[in-house]
Structure 1
């Protein structure tokens, strides 16, 4: 049986290489269907969601990791965030006036950059940036690790758009363990190169259709592979009424009161989940006096 919305981690022990396989279904639907995205943007968001899920392994603490791309092409901006407990959310902005969008990733993201942001709950935020100068998102992420982490890394990303109502995405990552950081050049690490070549033979129908155990046996039956219990992946938004109130604290009170006079309330709409939070005059006075009582996160 094929299980989706799970992240599977494994070790190829003798090679000192770690790996992950992520497959997304339900957790992806709210992301790709939150707006009327063209199919090219859905494919991009699917790949980004699978990649961000794989990158949660970077998090060694409670916090969030974000994969963001910015460019001057048909897609101006796209971001997917994942938390340490494997929840995803994402959004994209594209040229809605274009009659059609390019099919190739490199044409969608002209003069673009890839930004990977790690935000711990406690501590300073870290951000790494590389140019989107490779033909695929997977290759751009590999380039990020080569430049910033100096770790030999392979990323494979897949999307299944056969059912427009049930877009699926998947990904596989292989990476030399940090203790072997001296073997940063893939061409010099013949063992990692061999494992990567085997991973390149994995077809989309296999990663979407086979149990993870069968995938790993098919690829690495001659290796000593240790597969760990999977983590459940889900969609969840981190927006809240209290976070919206904190944002309003940075806006002039007079400006906010003017909005209430004209529109009846200050409305804050989450771009990820479309939840709307409303604030009246009493709320605004309390926010700027520092006495705003935090309501439950689901209270609007």
Structure 2
């Protein structure tokens, strides 16, 4: 059986309140990070966070973006991943200092916090949750967050070898949310389903997650369960940066700061942290920014 890469697969366990997602990011991972010269340890951490973002996005009924951040006060300052509802993913990291390949994410954070942001496209209210980092893996951080903040039993497995990333998620849902074709009575009486399926899933290895086709993986782990696999969704690298969005960011600096940069450098150069696209604004471009900013301020004063 041929392995399909860059895909998000949803599945559920018939006759139980347990559902799952699995994801593999190969080209998506490489395109997201190939223009960023990151140490191997950070690439692996970002790969795991990218896989996690797709897994969690698949559980949401929202047209918008999910942003996961790990913020630290040590060598590592920031890991950030964004996944939109079409499974377009982008990621970047900020750090200061030397990082050895044998150092883990948790060697680098120091007093970190985990931030999750839901940003609806349709004008809905943005949600942000912030919790201390608890646990010794990205999986543990996310599981703790889901249990404490969302009150949903969740188990997550993540892996990244520096070339591709993969992950699997299981959630225990209220019986009324299960889409099983079996009777509600049967669901209620399978009280051990969550523990049983979780123990089976705990046998998964990094090699299996990264290399096995989804059908083979599910059969190997859950061959005694009745698993329904849904049609896959494609994942991709996608960066939403535009010249206009960069211009809006520069306007936030204010005319005085823009003038200062122009006086010192003659132009303003900005590289996107996610895709490394270069944007340059000369004095004429900057003058237009400042004029539009003044016009916007005048409009606010009139209204």
Fold agreement, TM-score > 0.5: yes
Aligned CA RMSD, in angstroms, stands at 2.3
Q: Which runs of 5+ in 2 are unaligned?
A: 178-190, 295-303
Q: Is 1:21 aligned to 2:22, yes or no? A: yes
Q: Output aligned runs, 1:153-192, within 5 Å.
A: 153-161=154-162, 167-179=163-175, 190-192=192-194
CA distance in 2, matches of 1:266, 1:96: 26
Kept in 2: contact 1:151–1:178 (CA 8 A) = no
**2:280 counterpart residue number:** 278
**2:119 counterpart residue number:** 119
Shift of 1:205: 2.0
Q: Mean Cα displacement is larger for which, 34-43 or 3-12?
A: 34-43
- Indicate the structure whose relative CO is greater, using CA pairs within 8 Å and at least 6 residues apart: 2
TM, length-normalised to structure 1? 0.86
Aligned residues: 280
Shift of 1:258: 4.0
Q: In the superposition, relative to structure 1, how do residues 268 and 131 fare at CA in structure 2: closer, same or farther (>3 Å)? A: same
| Residue aligned with 1:34, SS | coil
CA distance in 1, matches of 2:15, 2:28: 34
Kept in 1: contact 2:251–2:293 (CA 8 A) = no
Shift of 1:101: 5.8
The Cα offsets for residues 9-67 of structure 1, whole Å up to 9 and x where unpaired, read as 11112112110011111111133333322211111111111111111124322211011
The Cα offsets for residues 146-177 of structure 1, whole Å up to 9 and x where unpaired, read as 0011011000011224xxxxx11110000012
Q: Is 1:136 aligned to 2:132, yes or no? A: no
| Residue aligned with 2:58, SS | helix
Q: Which runs of 5+ in 1 are unaligned?
A: 162-166, 182-188, 293-300
The Cα offsets for residues 263-287 of structure 1, whole Å up to 9 and x where unpaired, read as 3322222111111212233333333
TM, length-normalised to structure 2? 0.85
